[in-house]
Structure 1
Amino acid sequence: MAAIQVYASFPRAVAPGAKLNLKPTNWCWVHCLSLPLDTLNALQFSPRPYKWIRYAIGVVVGAEGDLSSSPDLPDIVDYNAGLLSESTILYYHTSNKERRKMFPVDPDLERTESFTSSIPTTRLAHFIDDVKERDGSTCVMTGLDEILCDAAHLLAQTKGDTYIATYTQRRSRSTTGDDIVQDINSVRNGLFLNGFSHKGLGKHIAFLPTPNFAMDTADIDPTAPPEGRRYTTHLFKPDTPFYLGGRNKPPSGSPLRISDTPQWPPAILFDAVYAGAVLQHFGTETLKEEVAATWKDTFYSSSVMTATEADYKLIMVERAANAEKAQKQAQEREARYEARKGH
């Protein structure tokens, strides 16, 4: 079967908390994606498929770069060209500046048997209420009523605070850090979705944010303004009913209803979900094994203070201040008592 095989350069060793070693001897090409041409043509995610491939490998690798037919010279592909009919090998080249920022997607992004969140259930209740209120109590994908919907986490709740804090800090592209999320139950980590779509999120359903480093919105819909902000529904397995049918059935390529508030999730979390779906359908075992072996300790780094830890520290500070205040008041009372005794 004809396919496009995509390779990206990965470090041989990664030390948590340390800068990546950029020496050429520390880097090697890894076979990351296998994209059957028949599947790409059937999915029709973009009329400019090479731009989509560039985005897909970019969010999987966690660094911006360019596609080339050569592993040595960055002879950049024609991003406006159509797909060839024969098998092709492409190499994803990244600069040293981008390599310093590199943070690949976790192959266990959706694994839920461990790393249970320690956030109190009241935070989960607030998460549900806040997501529902922000999104108007109807599914942002289909418009279905709240009785058929859930407040879905983009990064799974079971990953916990440290995970989302580490992920968004490492993936942040904002000069102000406003795309960093430290609370797994933050409203910014949620979408109000119908229950069927919730089950398929990050597996067979993902939402592509545009503009991004590789694509503008016209690369998804040629009739749309290029710089128009959009989140496009992509069904990686269109024949799987991860949505409710009838008039609420959204075609692949339909836009989400966006809440234009600061509480809307940052694009890097949509990228994470999209990367998970790409990995699910097109990722190679070589990539999964390479990333798991080299980056696992970094994914679950404890170097970032989470919302829960920050709250705990604040509580301890307040308790210490209250104890000091109580002790001072007791000393003052005792001094007044001794003064009265002296008279």
Structure 2
Amino acid sequence: MAAIQVYASFPCAVAPAGADLDLAPTNWRWVHCLSLPLDTLKARQFSQRPYKWIRYAIGVVVGAEGDLSSSPDLPDIVDYDIGHLPSESATLYYHTSDEERRRMCPIDPDLERTESFTSSIATTRLAHFIDDVKERDGSSCVMTGLDEKLCDAAHLLAQTKGDTYISTYTQRRSRSTAGDDIVQDINSVRNGLFINGFSHKGLGKHLAFLPTPNFAMDTADLDPNAPPEGRRYTTHLFKPDIPFFLGGRNAPPSGSPIRISDTPQWPPAILFDAVYAGAVLQHFGTETLKEDVTAAWKETFLSSMTEEEKAIADGRAAAAKMRAYERKAQEGPDNFDILMAMPYISVPRDKLKILIREAKVKAEAEEHERMEEKVNTWMEQIADE
């Protein structure tokens, strides 16, 4: 299948959080990051200027601004104004300056959200988050206009990441000299978007919103009738064969702008970039990028979190898995479930209920013990300090 293969330069040795990367040429290597099938790009029509979109896509995945070239040695920049894709496979290299390499922050391999605001975690901060996002966005889906009863207050960066993570992430990717795109609180209204529940499930996987203008594109690259510098957030559906992610048959098509709030409380573009990068990684990221390179940065991501936040994140992830199992149970058993249940089919109903209750209590006790051990370890470390 004809495709555009995109390479980016990554360090061989990743510096710990807060330290500078080694910029020596010997510490850098070209890594195959994206594989973009030509048929898919033509069908999706992400931009009127496809090379500009490719530049944006690799830029938000890598976390650094740069330029595309057909050569790994010379930054012989491609013609971004070309309005068509090649007919045969091609290879592109994403060149970044030393300044951009210093601020490099690749997309987190575990960025995918694992929880919804409808979870059982009821906190004052979360309650304020829901109310604030709903009020700012007019109590209806910013994409479809669906009523608030069908909507969620979705976190752009998952709530499980915690305050330290979003603070570190936005500081690293900040492009504002005033620092007004830095977010300190994971439950800040600036990390939220009010969208319908169907779309919430696909956000960052099959659905994302592209902010323009950005370092690679202006708004006219998406809509030739729009003012180039007009501020816009465009809906892109990466998997159009799942239309319910848009919120129903009457929802606006992929490529439509969402309703935005012209207030300081609107999320900074770098958070929309993160969600978009997650969808790009999901659909076009190579295994090398997903497993080898981004895994090398995982400790950098984790080191930005406190031990307490890590413990809380682990607990929330476990709770999310439990809810997933419960939803699956409601949908009915599959063949594997039936096979595993065979030994219990002849067990009397009353006894079976007791066995299930005992298993659930045991699982909850084990999870509580594990969480308590983590928190105790954290408390001991605090006391030692």
Deviation at 1:169, TM superposition (A): 1.0
Deviation string for 1:16-35 (max 9, x for gaps)? 12101000000000000000
Q: 2: distance between equivalents of 1:286 and 1:215?
A: 27
Determine the structure 2 residue equivalent to 1:13.
13
Deviation string for 1:219-265 (max 9, x for gaps)? 00000000000000000011102123243x12011001000000000
Quick one: which amino acid aligns to residue 190 of structure 2? R
**8 A Cα contact 1:162 1:301, kept in partner:** no
1:71 equivalenced with 2:89 (yes/no) = no
Q: 2: distance between equivalents of 1:294 and 1:179?
A: 27
Determine the structure 2 residue equivalent to 1:330.
none
**Which of 175, 178, 189 is the aligned partner of 1:176?**
178
Distance change in 2, residues 1:120/1:164 (3 Å): farther
Determine the structure 1 residue equivalent to 2:221.
219
Deviation at 1:62, TM superposition (A): 0.4
Equivalent residues in 2 for 1:232-311 (5 A)?
232-240=234-242, 241-247=244-250, 249-302=251-304
SS in 2 for 1:63: coil
Deviation at 1:111, TM superposition (A): 5.5
**8 A Cα contact 1:30 1:287, kept in partner:** yes
**8 A Cα contact 1:47 1:219, kept in partner:** yes
**TM-score for both structures, normalised by structure 2:** 0.76
Q: 1: distance between equivalents of 2:80 and 2:105?
A: 24
1:44 equivalenced with 2:42 (yes/no) = no
Q: 1: distance between equivalents of 2:114 and 2:196?
A: 21
Determine the structure 1 residue equivalent to 2:33.
32
Deviation at 1:40, TM superposition (A): 0.1
Deviation at 1:166, TM superposition (A): 1.2
Q: CA RMSD in A?
A: 1.8
Q: 2: distance between equivalents of 1:128 and 1:50?
A: 38
SS in 2 for 1:257: coil
**8 A Cα contact 1:12 1:294, kept in partner:** no
**Matched length:** 301
Quick one: which amino acid aligns to residue 245 of structure 2? F
**8 A Cα contact 2:106 2:294, kept in partner:** no
Q: Which runs of 5+ in 1 are unaligned?
A: 114-118, 308-343
SS in 2 for 1:33: strand
Equivalent residues in 2 for 1:105-254 (5 A)?
105-110=107-112, 112=114, 121-240=123-242, 241-247=244-250, 249-254=251-256
SS in 2 for 1:269: helix
Which of the two has greater helix per residue? 2
Determine the structure 1 residue equivalent to 2:24.
23
**8 A Cα contact 1:166 1:300, kept in partner:** no
Distance change in 2, residues 1:266/1:64 (3 Å): same
**Larger RCO: 1 or 2 (CA < 8 Å, sep 6+):** 1
Q: 1: distance between equivalents of 2:295 and 2:138?
A: 42
Quick one: which amino acid aligns to residue 258 of structure 2? L
Q: Which runs of 5+ in 2 are unaligned?
A: 116-120, 310-385
**8 A Cα contact 1:107 1:291, kept in partner:** no
Q: Which moved more, 1:293-302 or 1:141-150?
A: 293-302
Deviation at 1:270, TM superposition (A): 0.1
**8 A Cα contact 1:161 1:183, kept in partner:** yes
Deviation at 1:120, TM superposition (A): 7.2
Which aligned runs of 4 or more in structure 1 are off by greater than 6 angstroms? none
Deviation at 1:301, TM superposition (A): 2.6
SS in 2 for 1:136: coil
Identity, % of aligned pairs? Answer: 85
Q: 1: distance between equivalents of 2:41 and 2:122?
A: 43
**TM-score for both structures, normalised by structure 1:** 0.85
Deviation string for 1:151-182 (max 9, x for gaps)? 00001111111211111111111111111111
**8 A Cα contact 1:8 1:93, kept in partner:** yes
